[in-house]
Structure 1
């Protein structure tokens, strides 16, 4: 249609673009646009059903497609149901559709981040089997309880995975799926536990020194992790045992 409009400009061939006969190009444009509109509605029919579904949740991608198809239909309807100044009606309907979409976008953005792709749940379809999970758990206990590798302040996920002879993503998957913890939260659990034992038994080391002995790189990190796990600061914990 773009090529045709270049070869047969509206200014010079108005009679071919009008809605009244012979309207060759006008009819062709109408048919093409109508077919596209019907096809778009049919293609997105399942997304429209979600608007009234009580079991299926509408996604951000659904939201955009529904708005685009609905807007296209409104503009098509405006152009093809008026006989006077249809170009003005089309422009107004386009503006109306645009502003309504913008308002919905702003409202939706307050509640969640707006993207075209629905977030995918990490590892949703790749659960570690029970046997492998048990094996990882047993070896982790050896590394953290007996060898106390958490005392290394530079300990990384890659290092632990290497000691376990598993892939880093498998270790991360196990911690997330089976324990509900991130790697940093997991090692901080052992570091804080070790810190509580040192506070109870060692009277020579300062709290800062104990934090360093347990693997915390900074005093602030030590205090934050300790309070999160024990519900009190290291100094408050120490006073409770005097």
Structure 2
């Protein structure tokens, strides 16, 4: 009975993490890049920790599954780091995508050349310690990216927003799991899985509390306390007009608030307030309107691109986003717009 209870407590976090991971990847409406990285992070952790759970209660577990479980660890650190940067809108999506692709290829090739079944000592010693070091380095990098949030946690935790609560919860949860596995030889091998279940549910409670009690009212109230001076509003708008006309930076699919603010030589917080308060738009809506204008221009002049390619040329990451945004802004589809406005 004790073993059954221990198995349930260690496995329930893995099960729910898999469900939540698939939700963020495939079922969440209005998915963002951060949802993609969070979903992949949860699935990678589930594979790693699921391996620990089943191996603890079945030492005869296939060596192939042991290899897959350890290989998933190579992705946990980078996915955590990219998740934090994506929420902070400071991510180069192309770099992140290519980095993860290279890691997966490297893991697959190494695993094929040196399988766990034939090289158990290599995986248990060298690879295991290398994984822990790499994991820890990315935790430190993630903490550095979120240093302002941790500072706010110490100085004024009431000002922590809903998305910042996500960042803190995920970083702290991943760190606790890493710590549990690093200290497993002094405690218990199953401690990592138990820590994961505990961290998973504590994180959900913190995020639920932040969403319903503290973060949203505080942020809304602060956003409208100090209005931007009218003169500064005009200056920002002029800078945007000049930048967009000369560089068409909005056609960059990896454009973020931070990148745009850097190009305009203003603070990201000021740009965010300008878009939200003065234009009454979200950053995504603001950029997509310019992208749709560019798509309309390409469709009108009889471009050599197919309609899907027009979306990519205009700055959209996917055809589905392009079609839905075009219909939402113009009230018609790209193909109908082209038929009615060709060479107009």
TM-score by length of 1: 0.51
Give, in whole Å, the separation in 2 of the partners of 1:151 and 1:195: 10
Give, in whole Å, the separation in 2 of the partners of 1:226 and 1:116: 36
Match of 1:166 in 2: 266
The alignment status of 1:180 with 2:280, answered yes or no, reads yes
Unaligned runs of 5+ in 2: 1-210
Unaligned runs of 5+ in 1: 1-112
Once the two structures are TM-superposed, the CA of residue 185 in structure 1 deviates from its matched residue by 0.7
Match of 1:227 in 2: 327
Structure 2 CA distance for partners of 1:237 and 1:123, relative to 1, 3 Å = same
Deviation digits for residues 197-227 of structure 1 (CA, Å, limit 9, x no counterpart):
1001024210011111111010001001111
Structure 2 CA distance for partners of 1:208 and 1:134, relative to 1, 3 Å = same
Aligned residues: 130
Give, in whole Å, the separation in 2 of the partners of 1:213 and 1:118: 36
The alignment status of 1:150 with 2:250, answered yes or no, reads yes
Moved over 2 A (4+): 113-118
Once the two structures are TM-superposed, the CA of residue 117 in structure 1 deviates from its matched residue by 7.7
Match of 2:297 in 1: 197
TM-score by length of 2: 0.36
The alignment status of 1:119 with 2:217, answered yes or no, reads yes
Deviation digits for residues 109-136 of structure 1 (CA, Å, limit 9, x no counterpart):
xxxx853788132511121111111110
Higher helix share: 2
Give, in whole Å, the separation in 2 of the partners of 1:116 and 1:178: 25
Structure 2 CA distance for partners of 1:128 and 1:223, relative to 1, 3 Å = same
Match of 2:313 in 1: 213
The alignment's C-alpha RMSD in Å is: 1.8
Give, in whole Å, the separation in 1 of the partners of 2:331 and 2:224: 32
Give, in whole Å, the separation in 2 of the partners of 1:142 and 1:232: 29
> Does the CA contact (< 8 Å) of 2:224 and 2:277 recur in 1?
no
Give, in whole Å, the separation in 2 of the partners of 1:229 and 1:195: 12
Give, in whole Å, the separation in 2 of the partners of 1:192 and 1:160: 18
